[in-house]
Structures are given as structure tokens and as C-alpha cells.
Amino acid sequence: MPELPEVETVRRGLEPVMTGRIIERAEVNRDGLRWPFPAGMADRLTGARVLGLRRRSKYILADLSTGETALIHLGMSGRMLISGVMLGEFHQDHPAPQKHDHVVLHMEGGARVTFNDARRFGAMDLLPTETAEAHPLLAALGPEPLGNAFDESYLVAKLKGKASPIKSALLDQHLVAGLGNIYVCEVLFRAGISPKKQAGKISAARVASLVPIVREVLNEAIEAGGSSLRDYRQADGELGYFQHVFRVYDREGQPCQTEGCGAKIARVVQSGRSSFYCPHCQR
């Protein structure tokens, strides 16, 4: 599933062709994806101007001139693909319609934005902009890891006395929004903390050190266009490439990249998710 860097990369790719532009025509080609689409979604989108695009956790939010906000979740395989505009040095022509093109937005200026989702675990909804943060998918989310509310004192307080492993704690979307399996593995490696270590037993100083590392890893991944594993593509159809610099994720049995370490990357399953780590460097 796309994590925060992938969703942020898609949001940034959509911004030039959507922000400030009118949705001249919206096509909705099925009743829903993971959940049913809201009633009359095509008519409610058609004619609306996109006032801005923002991200909350792993959701893209498009604020519209109609007073509604379109919520988009990519799910396991969802893609927001752009065509009909210049992308870099090349003109991206409109492709032929595909089987899994579920929502198509024909934008002012000739661009087309297509929500393609082969596995249909994605979602779209329309909600009043004024109360968007109260939506059931957003209301209980923790602070953004790149925002000011996620700081050292916050994380130390939240993890104090917590019995769960640190890996599971950082994946809790109520504690911090948007972190997923890939980037938590990479963060814990850089911090030298084992994913199996009980969160509440980590010193305050080591917990505090996680905050800048989280931001460092996420920013590096965003600059790299995210990590392309299986289905993920950027909005222009290109792959992200952060997966080429993974230090532990998906490297089970390979040598640790820390100079002089000599250990091999191990894998352990925690709450149904694979955690990759170096048993020598991470304690």
C-alpha cells in the first residue's frame, strides 16, 4: 500500500494540472471501489473548481469551490494518472480507456486525471469542507510526522510506559499519521533500535532521536518519488526509486551496509507485518 511519501508525491504531481482548474466533466464508471461512491458524484464534481490539494496521512484531499472536499485513497493498487499535458520535456497523450479506469476527470486546459485501480481497494468520497477533519477516516488520526505537532516531547510522552514493540507503536495511525511498514523499518535501522524492543523501555533520549530521523527518511523518500513496489507509480506514470537505497527493508539475508558490521539482515513477523532489521546494529 502506498505510504506517506508515495501519496505526497502523487499530490505534488496532480497540483499543476488540478489546482485552480475547473473539472469540466467527471466520469464515474462504477458504483464504488472499496466502498460505494457518494450519490451523484459525477454531477457534484462536474463544474467544480479545485481550490487546493492537500494530504492528510495517506489521503489526498481536493478542496472544491462547491464547499465540498473530494477525499481520495489509493488503496493497494490505485493510481492517479495524468495525460494530455506536458510532463517534463514530453507531451503525455491521452491513452486508450483501460478496464480499471474507474473515475476520469476532464480538467480545464485539456488535462485528464484518471483514477485507475486494478484491485479496487481504493476509495473516493465527497464531504463538506468545513467538517472534513471529522470524517470517520480522518478524525482519529495522529499528527503529521512532518508537522510541528510531531515533536520530541510529544513522542516521548506517547511512548512512555507503552508495552507494545516500537515497530508496532510507530505504525499506529492514532499515534502518528502516515507512517507505514517500509519507512518505519528504515527509521529504526538509522536509529539503531530493534523493532522488537518494547517502546516504553526505550530511553527518552533515544525516543526523541527518532523524530528527526523520521523526517529525514520521509523527505528523502519524497525527493526520490517514493518507493515503487508492485503497483505504485507517480502521477506521470514514472516509478519512484527510493527502493534502490533501502538499507534493511526487503533485504533479508543480505549483508548489513554498515561498514565493519558483517551481520546479515534478519526478518521477523510482527502483527502480520514483516520487520527487517540488523540484529547487530539494532539493539
> Which positions are catalytic?
2-3, 58, 273
Taking residue 249's Cβ as centre, other Cβ atoms within 10 Å add up to 23
Show the cell assigned to 164. 507494545
Taking residue 174's Cβ as centre, other Cβ atoms within 10 Å add up to 9
Residue 136 is classified by DSSP as T
Interatomic CA distance for residues 235 and 180, integer angstroms: 20
Taking residue 61's Cβ as centre, other Cβ atoms within 10 Å add up to 20
8: left (phi over 0), alpha (psi -120 to 50) or beta: alpha
Q: Are 48 and 64 in contact (CB under 8 A)?
A: yes
Q: Tell me the CB-side half-sphere exposure of residue 81, using CA atoms within 13 A.
A: 26
